[in-house]
Amino acid sequence: MRSRLLLRVTALGYLTALLLVPVAMIGYRTFAHGIAPVWDALTTPAAQHALYLSVLVTAIAVPVNVVFGVVAGIALARRRMPAPRLVDLLINLPFAMSPVVIGLALFTLYGRGGWVGDWLAAHGLQVLFSIPGLVLATAFVCLPFVVREIVPVVEEIGAEQEQAAATLGANGWTTFWRITLPALRWALAYGVVLSTARALGEFGAVSIVSGDIVGQTQTLPLLVDERFRNFDATGAYSAGFALAVISVLVLTAMTVLSRRKERPQ
Amino acid sequence: MTAEIAAAPRRPIALPWARLGAGLGPGASLLYLCLLVGLPVAALADRAATARFWPAITSPPARSALLLTLVMAAVTSIVDVAAGVLIAWVLVRDSFRGRSIVNALIDLPFALPTIVAGLVLLSLYGPNSPVGVDVAQTRAAVLLALLFVTLPFVVRAVQPVLIGLDRDVEQAAECLGASGWQTFRMLIWPALRPAATVGAGLAFARSLGEFGSIVLISGNVPFHTQVASVFIAGQVESGDTSGAAAVGVVLLAAALVVLLILEVATRRGRARRA
């Protein structure tokens, strides 16, 4: 019994030192001088724009990946995907790549001297240091989350219900909307939550392609970094705290959804 | 026989347009994948493949950054295995108040943006540390950041295996006079090892590329705390994209090798069990 207690104390002590105290610390540091400076820091035009930009980029990148994830996930699970090994590799590549290398890869394609960068610039389309670059970086980073949730569920539910619907005269769309999609809803929701968290918080890939122009291409995580480097601790902690609150919400959603996901239908 | 039935055509009436529609989805998603992921990675490899590739990755700062990254990733995954198995054991076998909250908190490093993770660690273990521990700009800071962001991997890999483990065998071992440590070493650990290896491998791959949580706390001191991803970001900033791409390709190749080994090992393990 004593050894059990020792193990418990060691494990919880490790978690406390590494996770709990640091995360509690950010709340303390943020509100060290009261609420007013935090409110001021979060309502500056730069902070407002950073929040708007983060939400905008997420609102474009995540839905695109959801459509891709559902279509590709069903095709992969039903063995209808051409070149499945290559597709599998490409889907998992964002997990194997450093965010910085992802940003750099986009740089070598769309930047000056890149494969298509100069041509696009000559035709008036600026990808890097503007919103398209941010969206591409975010979509790249979040790519695996939805599709990886979808594939195992489609494999598990099988095709019997869809076949039954087809025998009863339902066309492809009806079957998809009434049979397939409802069966996928919890896995899909879980994937969306993971993608959204990652999209809102992405730093490395975005920092390479954004140019970090205040009020133009600065997302919320980039604002945290820039405020901190400019010795504006309150600004950095306030934005960091806002992001931490979002991640606690995400964590709650993850916990609820993963329970739903595992419950038999 | 059943496999053949499952593989039989699912659409009773195969109109030409229906077949076209069925091919459209996979085709479009393959195209999306190639444009979004394949093309940039190909451009990256192309940028790296210059005569300067070898000099770029063997220059003293690049070599030191790559070596530090590998060593730090290795240490991180070893510590993760020890801590992860312990935490998983306590979460599965022990019971105490607030266990489900602790269980949910394990995923926090996955939900928290990496730059916030770095900020958080710096506020507690940085220059203004309230507990008097300042590791900023040391290698310990790099390790700390990596341990933070990779915490969930081993715990989440080991937990389901531990839940499914047969307790009777352990009780039998105990009746036969085995100590707690002997039971762990000879019964529990062999069962957990494949899952722990997968978790450690994922943590290793993640550590190789980690950037956001390290960049603030490591202080970016060349030859001392500068890891490969921070080195690459610096190279891009100073305009040397081909040098950065060379180091980036090495990082990517290393992570791919780790993930490939994991997949082969998992497949072999599954085949052995079957």
Contact B33 A90 (CB under 8 A): yes
The answer to the question of residue B210 being in a domain is yes
Q: Note the pLDDT tens digit of each residue in B131-169.
A: 888 888 999 999 999 999 999 999 999 999 999 988 888
Same domain (yes/no): A117, A139: yes
Maximum alpha-carbon separation in chain A: 73
Q: Please give the tally of structural domains in chain A.
A: 2
pLDDT at B70: 97
ipTM score of complex: 0.91
pLDDT category of residue B2 using cuts at 50, 70 and 90: very low
pTM listed for this prediction: 0.91
The answer to the question of residue B61 being in a domain is yes
Sorted by sequence, the CB contacts under 8 Å of residue A229 that are 6+ apart come out as none
Contact A163 B10 (CB under 8 A): yes
Helix residue ranges, H only, B2-59: 2-7, 16-33, 39-48, 53-58
pLDDT at B3: 45
Q: Which of A26, A82, A105 sits opposite B40 (nearest CB)?
A: A105
Contact B25 A74 (CB under 8 A): yes
The answer to the question of residue B3 being in a domain is no
List of chain A residues whose C-beta atoms are within 8 Å of the C-beta of residue B108:
19, 23, 247-248, 251
**Average pLDDT value for residue range B97-118:** 92
Same domain (yes/no): A102, A210: yes
Same domain (yes/no): A26, A82: no
Contact B38 A87 (CB under 8 A): no
Same domain (yes/no): B235, B152: yes
List of chain A residues whose C-beta atoms are within 8 Å of the C-beta of residue B212:
99, 203-204, 221
Which site among B4, B15, B19, B33 would you substitute to test the A interface, given the most A Cβ atoms closer than 10 Å to its Cβ? B33
Give the domain range for residue B41. 20-49
Same domain (yes/no): B227, B266: yes
List of chain A residues whose C-beta atoms are within 8 Å of the C-beta of residue B259:
92, 95-96
Contact B116 A163 (CB under 8 A): no
Give the domain range for residue A165. 34-262
The Cα-based distances of A222 to A76, B224, B248 in angstroms read 36, 25, 22
The domain spanning residue A130 has which CATH number?
Answer: 1.10.3720.10
B126 three-class SS: coil
Same domain (yes/no): B45, B157: no
Minimum CA–CA partner of A250 in chain B:
B111
B59 three-class SS: coil
Q: Note the pLDDT tens digit of each residue in B39-63.
A: 999 999 999 988 789 999 999 999 9
Same domain (yes/no): B150, B86: yes
Same domain (yes/no): B170, B261: yes
Q: Please give the tally of structural domains in chain B.
A: 2
The Cα-based distances of A112 to A129, A208, B34, B215 in angstroms read 12, 14, 21, 26
Contact B120 A172 (CB under 8 A): no
Same domain (yes/no): B97, B135: yes
Same domain (yes/no): B114, B212: yes
Same domain (yes/no): A154, A74: yes
